[in-house]
Chains A and B, each alone.
Chain A
Amino acid sequence: MDKLKFAIYWAASCGGCDVAILDINEKILDVAEIADIVLWPIALDFKYKDVEALPDGSVDVCLFNGAVRNSEQEELAKLLRAKSKAMVAFGACACFGGIPSLGNVSDREHIFRRVYQETASTANPDTVYPRTVTEVPEGRLELPEFFDTVKSLAQVIPVEYFIPGCPPPPDLIVTVVNAIATGQLPPPGAVIAPDKALCDECERERSEDKTVKEFRRPWQFIADKEKCFLEQGLVCAGPGTRAGCGSRCIKANMPCRGCFGPPPGVSDQGAKLLSAMASLADSEDPTEMAAIIGGIKDPLGTFYRFGMANSTLGRVKL
């Protein structure tokens, strides 16, 4: 039987998804048995020209991680779409925008000004900013265009599958690889992770009484390791986040921040989380209510930590 062809690519990403693939450890040898990897810049020397030379549709599966934030990443997304039978949005950035899509609180002008001008150690008296074309004595140097708005992969090209997580845990990756190898992938459009909210798999003790008189921040006290974070007044994205991560952050005694994206049936994770957290506030007095709610800092950055690109409003007003 012919080996499958895989492509693995990274856009606006951190490399963590690629490390996650390696964290399946010796199982990577099983992957090597069933597939040839035709693109994987972090590990292999295939260049863009080699991808362009591939016949359309000749790649069986492309695992694409990272959000789309510049013209090169958009071009690669479209190129790989043409070359691949199935595109997989791999990791929170490709699925939802991820941490890079927090960049949607700003735009190119302000990001450039901050990075290349205003930061404390930057010395740029001539106000030089990166440009898409620079003429140097020897020739011409080009850079991709930096967009104002970060997009998730499905906002740029059609995507067949979504593997959430920041990064996706190794056991989930193994499940996906096995499904590909045995031809047992679900119908296209699926998120390949459990169809429940994280609270369902979380092992913490919880009571019926979920009312909060004061929201606190993680540094203000030492959280009880057994009890539900919400009952301790800590914002936790569990109620509005898909299960499947193994609750690793929670077991390290830190609340969830939502990297597995929304649970099934939820289109806007941030709005749902806002609703859920606000519902905990226990008061019949408007002034008191406002004070309790005021304990939740930075709702935008907290509830849309991983999902700004997919939010209903998409970005901060330009």
Chain B
Amino acid sequence: MTKTQTTTILINPITRLEGHGKIDIFLNDAGDVENAYFQVPELRGFEEFCRGRPVEELARITTRICGVCPGAHHMASSKALDAVFHVDPPPAAKKLRELFYCAHMIHSHIAHFYALAAPDFVLGPQSDPAMRNVLGVIATVGRELGESVIRHRAYAQDIQALIGGKATHPVCGLPGGMSKAINEEERKSIQDMAESTLEFAKFSLKLFHDVVLMNKEYVDIVLGDVYTMQSYYMGLVDQNNKVNFYEGDIRVVDPVGLEFARFKPAEYLDHIQEHVESWTYLKFPYLKNVGWRGLVEGDDSGVFRVAPLARLNVADGMATPLAQEAYEAMFSTLGGKPVHATLANHWARLVELMYAAERLLELATDAEITSPDVRAIPTATPDEGVGVVEAPRGTLFHHYKTDSDGLVTDLNLIVATVNNHAAICMSIKKAAQALIKKKTVSEGLLNMVEMAFRAYDPCFGCATHALPGQMPLTVLIRDKSGEILQKVER
């Protein structure tokens, strides 16, 4: 195999994301992008070291897979524990878990949108990097907004802590329910925070409308080819095919929006497999019944996508009224379903924020939410179970097997973002190929390559990351012998 003559652009590390990553962009002789690889350089091995642990402890161990969405792992784990022990939590316990979980989605979605998406759109994708951050957003739209963002993310964290002990690495989930109930005082404070959050969600959608949708240039970027990718989509839906974060069936639609599969969590192995490459530590889930054809688009490629845009593509609507309105507005603006424009994830995320806020308030005012009956004690012998939720970043699968004493013998985890792994690689390559031509590289173009990544992965960022001056980036373009051809700095 003779190699093509190439030069390499290395972006290391990827930043403003949760997790580690790097991008290798190979240019050919003409200076166009021959290929771009997204590599994940880390692995910790939860699927190995959780073996031998008492299974109920997994709800507190697996949260450490991610400190941004520990709530998601805690919920998926708790549901897997219910299944392992063949125990059904009392209705109040399920509501309390879902109340916790709505708050969790809110924290994550606020953090991502305001830290990650807003700068690229409020300031502009190729704007001065010194301003292209939340401080720049605040300067443009006002300090009041910054404080409101911090306050509402803090509410979401506080609600999780009230219910689960801590927001980062909660502890309340047990097989059969929750470790404790909430009292009326706690419920009232949650209700107050929920009411404020509802207004904040409305405001966020309006902000998106005013800043993005009213700007033709941005609409063109969102709808343009650079960031569009055809794929299958996956998400949880309830009995009425509405988006549900906590419970439901897993539904998959094909690139034209027709239902391709619908299955229960316990059946996931009939539908999903994971592929391995030697150049990254992260695996590539794909649809088993379509097959793995590599990092390519097409009906016969088993690549699928998850997370907000996917969830909205998969569902028939939202279960709460204001979110439903926002859902309809989004799809009618973007030309019907399914929407393949990756950047529409940002919009879909705000629709979900709306739903989470409405559902938070619904549950906070539910008559049963302060019930003390939040635990059913298991009586069956534990053996095996699957728990699935929609994490902020996508469908999350926890599958545990135990011995008769409830010690873990085997487990399998498919973790939200990993479902998007193939799509992320493809989106980065597509953006790089579209934006970098004839060896012309600028920091603005590199940021636009990173935008392809950011739409998928809600890096929480910092609601007020006080950026002093520059966001430096140095790119060295070397030829094959290592000579520096060009140095681009910002």
Give the interface of A toward B (CB within 8 A): 3, 10, 12-20, 22-23, 25-26, 28-29, 31-33, 36-37, 40-50, 53, 69-70, 72-73, 98-100, 102-103, 105-106, 110-111, 114-116, 119-124, 128-131, 134, 136-139, 141, 143-144, 146, 166-167, 217-223, 225, 248-249, 251-254, 257, 297-298, 300-302, 305
Contacts and interface: CB of A to CB of B under 8 A. Distances in A.
B405 interface: yes
Given A33-B466, A37-B466, A252-B180, 17 more contacts: A15-B460, A16-B70, A19-B168, A23-B168, A47-B473, A115-B43, A123-B275, A130-B279, A141-B37, A141-B279, A146-B43, A166-B64, A217-B54, A217-B406, A219-B176, A298-B407, A300-B52
Given A42-B15, A44-B16, A166-B169, A253 B179 contact: yes
Contact of A217 (B4, B39, B56): B56
A138 B11 CA distance: 16
Contact of B52 (A46, A115, A141, A298): A298
A70 B41 contact: yes
B274 A123 contact: yes
Contacts of A146: 43, 281
B129 A69 contact: no
B12 A47 contact: yes
Given A45-B15, A121-B268, A167-B67, A19 B460 contact: yes
A57 to B, nearest CB: 20
Nearest to B286: A123
B432 interface: no
Closest A-B pairs by Cβ, 9 of them: A16-B67, A32-B466, A252-B165, A138-B26, A14-B67, A45-B471, A111-B45, A99-B64, A134-B279
6 contacts: A18-B67, A19-B168, A47-B472, A122-B273, A134-B278, A141-B279
A301 B61 CA distance: 10
A114 B401 CA distance: 14
Contact of A45 (B16, B43, B375): B16
Contacts of B129: 45
A111 B460 contact: no
Interface stretch (B17-25, B233-241, B337-345, B360-368): B17-25
A219 B273 contact: no
Contacts of B157: 23
Contacts of B67: 13-20, 167
A107 to B, nearest CB: 9
A245 B239 CA distance: 42
Contacts of A298: 52-54, 57, 407
Interface in B13-67: 13-20, 24, 26, 28, 34-35, 37, 39, 41-45, 47-50, 52-54, 56-57, 60-61, 63-67
Nearest to B54: A297
B279 A143 contact: yes
Nearest to A93: B64
Contact of A141 (B24, B378, B413, B414): B24
A219 B175 contact: yes
A46 B443 CA distance: 13
B171 interface: yes
A249 B377 contact: no
A22 B460 contact: yes
Interface in B148-167: 150-151, 154, 157, 161, 164-167
A106 B3 contact: no
Q: Tell which of A3, A116, A252 has the most Cβ of chain B within 10 Å.
A: A252
A58 to B, nearest CB: 15
B63 to A, nearest CB: 8
Given A47-B12, A121-B285, A19 B68 contact: yes
B24 A252 contact: no
B214 interface: no
Nearest to A251: B165
A120 to B, nearest CB: 4
Given A141-B39, A225-B180, A46 B472 contact: yes
B106 interface: no
A297 B58 CA distance: 14
Say whether chain B's binding surface is mostly helix, strand, loop, or mixed: loop
Contacts of B191: none
A220 B377 contact: yes
Given A248-B161, A297-B54, A137 B4 contact: yes
A42 B16 contact: yes
Given A121-B414, A129-B278, A253-B179, A25 B64 contact: no
A12 B42 contact: yes
A45 B473 contact: yes
Contacts of A28: 462, 464-466
A138 B66 contact: no
Nearest to A110: B48
B140 interface: no
Interface string B69-80: 010000000000
Contacts of A40: 465
Nearest to B468: A36
Contacts of A122: 273-274, 276, 283
A223 to B, nearest CB: 7
A21 to B, nearest CB: 8
Contacts of B414: 121
B399 interface: yes
B70 A14 contact: yes
Nearest to A33: B466
Given A45-B16, A143-B279, A222 B54 contact: no
A28 B138 CA distance: 15
B52 A105 contact: yes
B276 A254 contact: no
B164 to A, nearest CB: 6
A139 B8 contact: yes
A146 B281 CA distance: 10
B420 to A, nearest CB: 16
B19 A15 contact: yes
Q: Tell which of A29, A102, A111, A146 has the most Cβ of chain B within 10 Å.
A: A102
Contacts of A70: 41-43
Contact of B65 (A14, A136, A254): A14
A119 B13 contact: no
Contacts of B56: 217-219
Contacts of A103: 44-45, 48-49
A22 B139 CA distance: 20
B85 interface: yes
Given A48-B12, A110-B48, A120-B412, A252 B465 contact: no
A120 B399 contact: yes
Nearest to A252: B165
Contacts of B102: none
A249 B165 contact: yes
Contacts of B12: 47-48
Given A45-B129, A99-B64, A121 B274 contact: yes
Given A99-B64, A111-B43, A115-B47, A43 B115 contact: yes
